[in-house]
């Protein structure tokens, strides 16, 4: 049952919302425009701000729903399982689906929204994570307001996650989970890091 749930989490995470919405609204392949990514930021710039917000919400739900709904189902059908570990694995599977989607030849997004959604879902089930999730959101907002770079804000928040986990003495499994999400996000932003270093990265709002 756990294997099936992990597969379903991966498939849900694999749904390329930005690609589908861009096709539907503008008839374009979003991967051939802007940064070439089908995440919320590129859809925000290329299609419309509202489309970007919709993609952001739906991509986040791809992380939240497996952790909560599928997690609840598994715990009811197999109560002997380690609840925290099960929900962590479901969240990681969803993020992997987004980053390496089955539907676009295993090329995907950067995983920020889906990772945030998984963390949000975990905070519903593990109350002490609510504060950490809120702090990471605060880091993201502060960096975005200070620099205007979504990529830098995302990298900063992802790096802050395992640091907050350590600072609040969370269990080892949660620390490992946070490090995995951090590495996923930083690795997927390697092209953005290059542009930031070359001072070629675009800000979310034109100055």
The Cα 18–Cα 69 span in angstroms is 23
Q: Is the pLDDT of residue 81 over 70?
A: yes
Q: Are 40 and 109 in contact (CB under 8 A)?
A: no
Query: Which band of pLDDT confidence, cut at 50, 70 and 90, is reported for residue 72?
Result: very high
Long-range CB pairs of 158-164, under 8 A, 24+ apart, other chains included = 158/112, 158/115, 158/182, 158/185, 158/186, 159/186, 160/135, 160/136, 161/119, 161/132, 161/136, 164/132, 164/135, 164/136
Please give the model's pTM, rounded to 2 decimal places.
0.91
Q: Is the pLDDT of residue 17 over 60?
A: yes
Q: Supply 49's token pair.
A: 């701000």
The stretch 97-109 carries a mean pLDDT of 92
Q: Is the pLDDT of residue 101 over 90?
A: yes
pLDDT tens digit sequence for 162-172:
999 999 999 99
Among candidate residues 179, 170, 72, the one with its CA nearest the CA of residue 129 = 170
Query: What stretch of H or E contains 160?
Result: helix 150-167
Burial of 185 (0-12, 13-18, 19+ CB in 10 A): buried
The alpha carbon dihedral of 131, 181, 52, 56 has a sign of negative
Please, what is the average pLDDT of the chain? Answer: 93
pLDDT tens digit sequence for 167-186:
999 999 999 999 999 999 99
Q: Which residue has the tokens 């950490």?
A: 132
The stretch 140-155 carries a mean pLDDT of 95
The stretch 140-166 carries a mean pLDDT of 96
The Cα 133–Cα 122 span in angstroms is 9
Q: Supply 53's token pair.
A: 């917000």
The Cα 38–Cα 53 span in angstroms is 13
Listed in order, strand segments (DSSP E) in 61-154 are none
* pLDDT reported for residue 207: 45
* pLDDT reported for residue 206: 58
First to last CA, the chain: 51
Q: Is the pLDDT of residue 4 over 80?
A: yes
Query: Which band of pLDDT confidence, cut at 50, 70 and 90, is reported for residue 35?
Result: confident
Q: Which residue has the tokens 């969370």?
A: 170
């Amino acid at each position: 049952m756990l294997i099936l749930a992990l597969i379903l989490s991966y498939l849900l995470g694999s749904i390329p919302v930005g690609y589908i919405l861009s096709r539907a609204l503008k008839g374009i392949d979003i991967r051939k425009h802007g940064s070439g990514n089908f995440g919320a930021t590129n859809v925000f710039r290329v299609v419309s701000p509202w489309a970007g917000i919709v993609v952001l919400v739906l991509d986040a739900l791809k992380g939240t729903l497996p952790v909560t709904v599928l997690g609840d189902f598994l715990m009811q059908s197999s109560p002997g399982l380690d609840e925290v570990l099960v929900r962590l694995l479901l969240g990681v599977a969803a993020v992997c689906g987004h980053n390496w989607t089955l539907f676009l030849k295993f090329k995907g997004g950067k995983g920020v929204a889906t990772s945030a959604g998984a963390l949000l879902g975990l905070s519903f089930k593990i109350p002490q994570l609510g504060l950490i999730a809120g702090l990471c959101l605060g880091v993201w907002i502060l960096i975005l307001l200070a620099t205007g770079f979504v990529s830098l804000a995302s990298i900063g928040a992802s790096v802050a996650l395992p640091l907050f986990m350590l600072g609040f003495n969370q269990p080892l499994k949660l620390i490992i989970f946070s490090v995995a999400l951090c590495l996923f996000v930083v690795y997927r932003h390697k092209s953005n890091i290059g542009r930031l270093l070359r001072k070629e990265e675009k800000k979310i709002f034109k100055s």
